[in-house]
Amino acid sequence: MKKTGVFWTIALLLTLLVSGCSGAKPHTDQFLVVGHVAALSGDLALWGQAEKNALSLAVEKINAAGGVAGKQLKIISYDTRGDAAETAKAAQRLLVHDRVVAILGPAQSSNAIVMSAVTEPAKTPFIATAATSPKATFDPVANTVRGYAFRAGFIDSYQGSVAAHFAGRDLKAKTAAVLYDAGSEYSTVLAAYFAKKFAKQGGKVLAKEAFRANETDFRPLLTKVDQDEPAVIFVPTFHKEAALLVKQARDLGIKAKIIGGDGWSNPEILALGGAALEGTYFVAQTGMGDPAIQSFIAEYRGKFGQDPVLPNAALAVDSLLMLVEAVKQADSADPVKIARQLAALRDTPVLTGKLSIDPLTNSPQNRSAVVQEIRGGQFVFTTKIASD
């Protein structure tokens, strides 16, 4: 949908939100009602359905243990189809019709930014699952944190720093080159923070070259950066471009270690890149080999007969556990009080580890990230890193 269409949809929904709250159904004393928005159909349904499954599993356990603040948890999930306007509609319905105390999701950064336009006026918090853009929780125009927007996963700048930390600490690299997509905010942010962190820890960035997402011939750029023989090449792009670039690098005989960001985490990269990807690395929110989530993986398999789709399944549970702790600390189902406690979370146990929220960004602070290696045609857990 065009941006103007999304704008007018949100404007209409905000009008309905203000006028509709007085006639909305009250909360029951029995349930603590929480919303969930995700792509449950369409191209992104694989991730959305995994979130829904993981949340249902977690809610069963929490309710069996007595619930939260004397109430049973109830999750209401609505399908966004991965669309911004549908996300706004789902949020409005949850706030006005279902009177939720908070919303979990969405996973996509663009949809999370739209979500904040609905939840901020309603003074009801949402916790994005896998959205990584800083703008999801921080308003760059007003230069202030969005008071009711939070996230469970790390932000783009942080994973750039983690990749540099891994390159220096684990790969012992002293030199690096960066190849990034100049038309992608995601790619440019990761590239900038990788270069900054790598230099800060004593490394030298020998080259930083830009390309566009539609390019298919990376050989001129690869040949150029390889002249300086960098120890590592950082490629913060998405899986299709990454697979093609790595194949061309290996065809040219380039031996440098190659590292990517979480844009590599789509399993399709394995078929697209084939053997050329062997021995490459990428940063991820979590992975199947993450020691912290092994019990969860076993429970998920037992319940649904398949592996959880990561990172979304794990981050959905993290977001729920963040909310549960905030409700306990607030000792209230008041969304404003819950939001205040979300911003104050410190060393809170969640599925993937412990989590603290930076009140200046409403994002996790120094959250551990997983580094995966592509080995034997699979994603293999390598290490877990918390970067400063």
- Write out pLDDT tens, residues 228-239: 999 999 999 999
User: What pTM does this model have?
Assistant: 0.89
Question: For residues 146, 86, 45 and 352, what is the CA-based torsion angle, rounded to 10 degrees?
Answer: 20
Q: φ and ψ at 104, to 5 degrees?
A: -100, 135
How much is the pLDDT for 238? 92
Tokens (6 digits) for 113: 């930014």
pLDDT in tens, 355-374: 999 999 999 998 999 999 99
- Among residues 164, 151, 220, the alpha carbon closest in space to that of 192 is found at 164
List the strands of the sheet with 257-260, edge to edge. Answer: 204-211, 175-181, 232-235, 257-260, 281-284, 369-375, 378-385
Please state, as a whole number, how many other Cβ atoms lie within 10 Å of the Cβ of residue 132: 26
Strand extents, DSSP E, the chain: 31-38, 72-79, 103-104, 126-128, 138-139, 144-145, 149-151, 175-181, 204-211, 232-235, 257-260, 281-284, 348-350, 353-355, 357-358, 363-364, 369-375, 378-385
* Averaged confidence pLDDT in the chain: 93
Query: What residues contact residue 94 under an 8 Å CB cut-off, 6+ apart?
Result: 35, 37, 76, 78, 100, 103
Residue 372 pairs with which residues in a beta bridge? 282, 381
DSSP secondary structure of 320-334: HHHHHHHHHHHTS--
| Cβ–Cβ under 8 Å, residues 373 and 257 | no
Query: Residue 21 pLDDT more than 60?
Result: no
Phi, psi of 91 (to 5 degrees): -65, -45
Q: Which helix (H) or strand (E) holds 14?
A: helix 3-20
In this predicted structure, what is the pLDDT of residue 186? 93
Separation of alpha carbons 11 and 13, rounded Å = 5
Q: Which alpha helices (H) appear in 173-311, and where do they start and end? A: 185-200, 219-226, 239-251, 268-273, 294-304
pLDDT digits (tens, 9 = 90+) for 171-214: 999 999 999 999 999 999 999 999 999 999 999 999 999 998 78
How confident is the model over 7-14, as a mean pLDDT? 48
| Burial class of residue 65 (count of CB atoms within 10 Å of its CB; 0-12, 13-18, 19+) | exposed
Say if domain 3-154+292-355 classifies as CATH 3.90.79.10.
Answer: no
- Cβ neighbours of residue 119 closer than 8 Å, sequence gap 6 or more: 91, 95, 103, 125, 126, 148, 149
pLDDT at 28: 52
Whether omega for the bond prior to residue 308 falls within 30 degrees of 0, making it cis, is: no
**Cα-flanking dihedrals φ and ψ of residue 36, to 5°?**
-145, 125
Q: Is 80 exceeded by the pLDDT of residue 315? A: yes
In the prediction, which pLDDT does 387 show? 79
Taking phi over 0 as left and psi of -120 to 50 as alpha, with beta for the rest, 279 belongs to left
Overall average pLDDT of the 76-86 stretch? 97
Q: When comparing pLDDT for 63 and 23, which is higher?
A: 63
Does the structural domain 157-284+369-385 have CATH classification 3.40.50.2300?
yes
The residues spanned by each domain of the chain are 3-154+292-355, 157-284+369-385
- Give the model's pLDDT for residue 182: 95
Q: How confident is the model at residue 129 (pLDDT cuts 50, 70, 90)?
A: very high
Residue with tokens 């290996």: 250
The strand pair at 257-260 and 281-284 is best described as parallel
Q: By C-alpha distance, which of 133, 62, 108 is closest to 317?
A: 62
Same CATH fold assignment for domains 3-154+292-355 and 157-284+369-385 = yes
Q: How confident is the model at residue 386 (pLDDT cuts 50, 70, 90)?
A: confident
Residue 45's pLDDT is 95
Sign of torsion over alpha carbons 35, 267, 318, 296: positive
- C-alpha–C-alpha distance, residues 98 and 110, integer Å: 24
